């Protein structure tokens, strides 16, 4: 698919904000552009994954149209995710088109979450499209361990991507999933490494989404334990800093850097949720941890006008729940939800 022309905005509801039933303003849309990934991380998916037929995916034009409809309704932040978003063919045309909302001031931030494998190739173009920062997933700095966790990943290639991103002027935040018995001995060194390169680090608990090879209870490492260990070595100062996501941040006095904790299991983060997630097939999930979704592909394809799309968005936000119900223990061996994180969008 080649470059495309952005559609003229047709919504008659421009400027009207989206409020859910709990008076939370929805200002953040996470958009999965593909369920495919060039890694097979052990906590995310099985090694032998069956991906969606390409014909089922929203086109780049349709993704632009839906994102723009959300911007018209007050969304100020767009995060492009996957799978691995940078493996989507011609994905930079979508970034280029969506950047017009940055130019007009309708959008505060256009960003992405990536595994870093394709970052060396795309970093300069991302910066040229107005992307200011990216999240890169790295769970270990040991090359052999990295290969074991990702199954197919090459740490050296990811580190080259980090260099390219920083050289292009992009601010980088590292996301690390805390894995019991796998990388818990590395967390302190990851803090020092990330902060030494001027990068924030966010630690994430394993989430019970989708079938994997093994059980997540065997991977689950409560971040309350991790924080207690870090507090024995570092002076951690609680911060009010927010990036629009669920992380709660501290300042590590000894390094001067920020450290985030995303704790869907040990501390539910739903009370201030301002996010919804769009899948690559046009399903809008109002909550990561619930099955309820609204189909936005049908109204997009049913009419050239955005009237049906706007109506579907408003009706969906009216169903947004108060929070999720994630549980991970021996009695709940199966995942909380059947779909993988790569389907919903990371």
What residues have CB less than 8 Å from 1, skipping those under 6 apart?
A: 59, 60, 89, 90, 93
Between 125 and 244, the higher pLDDT residue: 125
Whether residue 7 is contained in a domain is answered as no
Give burial (CB, 10 Å; 0-12/13-18/19+) of 344: buried
pLDDT for the residue 269: 55
pLDDT exceeds cutoff 60 at 14: no
| Over residues 53-77, mean pLDDT | 95
What the block records as the tokens of 227 is 């924080």
> In sequence order, what are the beta bridge partners of 134?
112, 172
Report which DSSP code applies to 38: S
| Over residues 335-344, mean pLDDT | 49
Whether residue 330 is contained in a domain is answered as yes
pLDDT for the residue 324: 54
pLDDT exceeds cutoff 90 at 334: no
pLDDT exceeds cutoff 80 at 248: yes
Q: Measured between alpha carbons, how far is 205 from 88 in angstroms, rounded to an integer?
A: 27
Are 277 and 284 a contacting pair, CB within 8 Å?
yes
Whether residue 230 is contained in a domain is answered as no
Which secondary-structure segment (H or E) carries 159? helix 155-167
Q: Measured between alpha carbons, how far is 5 from 229 in angstroms, rounded to an integer?
A: 52
Q: Nearest-CA neighbor of 196 among 132, 133, 257?
A: 257
Rounded to the nearest 10 degrees, the angle between the axes of helix 119-128 and helix 91-104 is: 30
| Over residues 62-73, mean pLDDT | 98
In total, the chain counts a number of residues equal to 346
Whether residue 208 is contained in a domain is answered as no
8-39: string of b/e by CB count within 10 Å (b at 16+)?
Answer: ebbbebeeeebebeeebebbbbbbbbbbbbbb
Query: What is the share, in percent, of the chain residues with pLDDT greater than 90?
Result: 66
Q: Measured between alpha carbons, how far is 336 from 206 in angstroms, rounded to an integer?
A: 12
Q: Which domain holds residue 79?
A: 28-173+272-344
pLDDT for the residue 329: 44
Between 50 and 229, the higher pLDDT residue: 229
Lowest mean pLDDT among 4-8, 50-54, 310-314: 4-8
pLDDT exceeds cutoff 50 at 1: no
66-78: string of b/e by CB count within 10 Å (b at 16+)?
Answer: bbbbbbbbbbbbb
Average pLDDT, the chain: 86
pLDDT for the residue 305: 95
Q: Measured between alpha carbons, how far is 345 from 83 in angstroms, rounded to an integer?
A: 7
Count other Cβ atoms within 10 Å, centred on residue 250.
20
Whether residue 180 is contained in a domain is answered as no
pLDDT band at residue 326 under the 50/70/90 scheme:
very low
pTM of the complete model: 0.86
pLDDT band at residue 166 under the 50/70/90 scheme:
very high
pLDDT band at residue 325 under the 50/70/90 scheme:
low
Chain CA centroid to CA 77, Å: 12
The DSSP line for 79-131 is EEESS-GGGSTTHHHHHHHHHHHHHHTS-SEEEEEE-STTHHHHHHHHHHTT-
| Over residues 181-191, mean pLDDT | 94
Provide the domain count of the chain.
1
Whether residue 178 is contained in a domain is answered as no
Q: Measured between alpha carbons, how far is 318 from 203 in angstroms, rounded to an integer?
A: 31
3-state secondary structure string, 290-339? Answer: CCCEEECHHHHHHCCCCHHHHHHHHHHHCCCCCCCCCCCCCCCCCCCECC
Are 158 and 116 a contacting pair, CB within 8 Å?
yes
Whether residue 1 is contained in a domain is answered as no
Give burial (CB, 10 Å; 0-12/13-18/19+) of 181: exposed
Whether residue 3 is contained in a domain is answered as no
| Over residues 163-167, mean pLDDT | 98
CATH number at residue 35: 3.20.20.70
pLDDT exceeds cutoff 80 at 226: yes
pLDDT for the residue 344: 59
pLDDT band at residue 61 under the 50/70/90 scheme:
very high
What residues have CB less than 8 Å from 124, skipping those under 6 apart?
A: 164, 168
Lowest mean pLDDT among 42-51, 69-78, 220-229, 310-319: 42-51
């Amino acid at each position: 698919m080649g470059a495309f022309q952005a559609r003229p905005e047709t919504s008659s509801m421009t400027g009207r904000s989206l409020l859910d039933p709990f008076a939370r303003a929805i200002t953040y849309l996470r958009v999965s552009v593909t369920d495919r990934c060039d890694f097979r991380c052990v906590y995310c998916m099985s090694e032998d994954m069956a991906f969606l037929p390409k014909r089922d995916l929203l086109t780049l034009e349709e993704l632009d149209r839906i994102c723009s409809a959300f911007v018209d309704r007050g969304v100020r932040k767009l995060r492009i995710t996957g799978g691995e978003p940078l493996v989507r063919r011609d994905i930079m045309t979508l970034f280029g088109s969506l950047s017009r909302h940055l130019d007009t001031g309708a959008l505060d931030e256009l960003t992405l979450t990536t595994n870093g494998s394709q970052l060396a190739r795309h970093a300069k173009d991302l910066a040229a499209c107005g992307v200011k920062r990216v999240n890169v997933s790295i769970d270990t700095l040991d090359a052999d361990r990295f290969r074991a966790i990702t199954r197919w990943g090459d740490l050296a290639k990811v580190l080259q991507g980090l260099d390219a991103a920083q050289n292009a002027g992009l601010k980088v935040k590292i996301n690390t999933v805390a894995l019991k018995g796998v990388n818990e001995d590395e967390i302190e060194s990851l803090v020092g490494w990330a902060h030494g390169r001027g990068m924030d680090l966010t630690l994430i608990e394993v989430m019970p989404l989708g079938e994997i090879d093994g059980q997540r209870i065997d991977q689950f490492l409560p971040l309350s334990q991790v924080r207690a260990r870090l507090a024995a070595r570092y002076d951690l100062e609680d911060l009010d800093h927010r990036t629009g996501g669920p992380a709660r941040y501290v300042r590590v006095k000894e390094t001067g850097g920020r450290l985030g904790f995303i704790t869907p299991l040990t501390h539910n983060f739903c009370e201030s949720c301002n996010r919804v997630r769009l899948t690559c097939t046009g399903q809008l999930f109002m909550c990561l941890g619930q099955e309820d979704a609204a189909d936005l592909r049908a109204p997009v394809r049913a009419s050239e006008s955005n009237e049906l799309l706007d109506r579907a968005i408003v009706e969906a936000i009216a169903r947004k729940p108060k929070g999720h119900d994630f549980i991970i223990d021996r009695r709940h061996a199966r995942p909380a939800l059947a779909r993988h994180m790569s389907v919903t969008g990371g």
